[in-house]
Amino acid sequence: METNNKNKVFSYENGLLLLLGFTFGIVFFERNAIGPLASYIINDLALSQAQIGMLGSGLSLAWAIAAYVVGAWSDRSGLRKPFLLVSVVVFSLCSALSGIAATFMMLLLARVIMGFAEGPFLPICFSIMNVASSPKRRGVNAGLMQNFFASLLGTSIAPLVLPWLAETYDWRTAFYLSAIPGLICAVLIWLFVKEPKPVAQEPAAASGAKPGMFDMLKQRNILVCCGISVFMISWYLVGIIFLPVFFTVVKGMPPDVAGQVVAPMGIATMICGFVVPFISDRIGRKPAMIIFTFIGLVTPIAALHFSGAQWMLSVLLLIGWSASGSFAVFMGVIPSETVPRALAASSMGLVVGAGEIVGGVLSPTISGWIADQTSLAAHMVVMMVCALCGGLLSLFLRETAPTRARTALKAEPAR
């Protein structure tokens, strides 16, 4: 009965995908709000580039810690839904708290608390979605849930709506209003999301003590995915935080025009967010990762050197931003296919946490500091280095796609 329902348009699988994906889109809308509002916040609170970077770093540090710690807590307890509800309510309230901030330290505190609330959301969503997904849709569902609405709301709509709200009212009002959709999503999760059966009851769950963080890192794919996460999250966050500022200051664009230039990048994530996992289902995880991480070089190169028409610049940024479609593969799909299901949230939380705590925490602040010492072009150089390193690390992945992995095993000579 459950299998047949999964083939229907109005199945629980599709409804869950829509609700969790939209809620994660709200997460990214609120997380990415600093970038589109940076010029207004800088003028009001007299912040430096390094301080703007620290706002992203503080949130990333909290996100990283909570992603692994709360994800592991969820695995041990066997509960998913209560953690989701608390996460959504708290990060929504923290968005409103960001608008109240009168000093840099108050704003930083609000973003750090938001990071603690948002961190476990994605790993727990992946663990819920993996249980509800049919095997042939696992990669596509993961990509849609993580990327489609996140890019639509956080990358495309946020740069357009937030500057408009700041111009019409002020940047504080933009934060206040962005809290409302999250609270609505919390109510919908409470009403419609079903608690998956406890992990301990699943056949994949092993008896005895579960492997810890260092045990999982001994597995090559988990270690490599952690490394990719460090560089690709750095690439993503430096771009999201500093591209609007770069175009405003270096290229001389008004904030609303800069928002229009970067907004199409969200289209790339919307499309590639499920296209890249879909491609990885067909050609394998490793080749898809190699192709789409190296494509990330296009965005900073275009921002730094292209001087043509605005629409063409947006197209080039869009092409480069298709690299964000790889995130669901190395954050969710590959880890979940590497470890037993009982460790799903822990392994994905570890990969997300490694990227956030090393790449997310250090890269925005370091990039901001370098820019303060040199020029804003440093942000684009940092992005190029990160995309290059992410692509090189992808060369060391072991294939986990079910069909490709089986083919590789059959091709190995008998010993």
Residue 282 lies in a domain: yes
Give mean pLDDT, residues 353-374: 83
Residue 3 lies in a domain: no
Domain ranges, residue 133: 12-196+210-408
Quick check: 389 pLDDT over 70?
Answer: yes
Residue 156 lies in a domain: yes
Structure tokens at 386: 């990160």
Q: What is the pLDDT of residue 135?
A: 65
Residue 320 lies in a domain: yes
Distance CA 44, CA 379 (A): 23
Residue 249 lies in a domain: yes
Residue 30 lies in a domain: yes
Give mean pLDDT, residues 60-66: 80
pLDDT tens across 101-125, in order?
888 999 999 989 988 888 788 778 8
Quick check: 84 pLDDT over 80?
Answer: yes
Q: Poorest-confidence range of 137-141, 226-230, 275-279?
A: 137-141
Say if CB 165 and CB 173 are below 8 A apart: yes
Closest CA to 205 of 339, 338, 81, 73: 339
pLDDT bracket for residue 263 (50, 70, 90) = confident
Q: Cα 101 vs. chain centroid, distance in angstroms? A: 25
pLDDT bracket for residue 231 (50, 70, 90) = very high
Neighbours of 5 (CB within 10 A): 12
Q: What is the pLDDT of residue 397?
A: 92
Q: How many structural domains comprise the chain?
A: 1
Give mean pLDDT, residues 366-382: 90
Give mean pLDDT, residues 114-141: 77
Distance CA 97, CA 94 (A): 5
Better pLDDT: 99 or 211: 99
Say if CB 48 and CB 95 are below 8 A apart: no
Residue 298 lies in a domain: yes
Closest CA to 58 of 103, 14, 2, 115: 115
Distance CA 348, CA 75 (A): 11
Give mean pLDDT, residues 260-276: 81
Quick check: 220 pLDDT over 90?
Answer: no
| Domain CATH for 397 | 1.20.1250.20
Q: Write the CA distances from 19 to 120, 238, 266, 374, integer angstroms.
A: 17, 28, 19, 44
Quick check: 22 pLDDT over 50?
Answer: yes
Residue 204 lies in a domain: no
Structure tokens at 335: 């880890």
Neighbours of 115 (CB within 10 A): 27
Strand locations in 227-321 (E): none
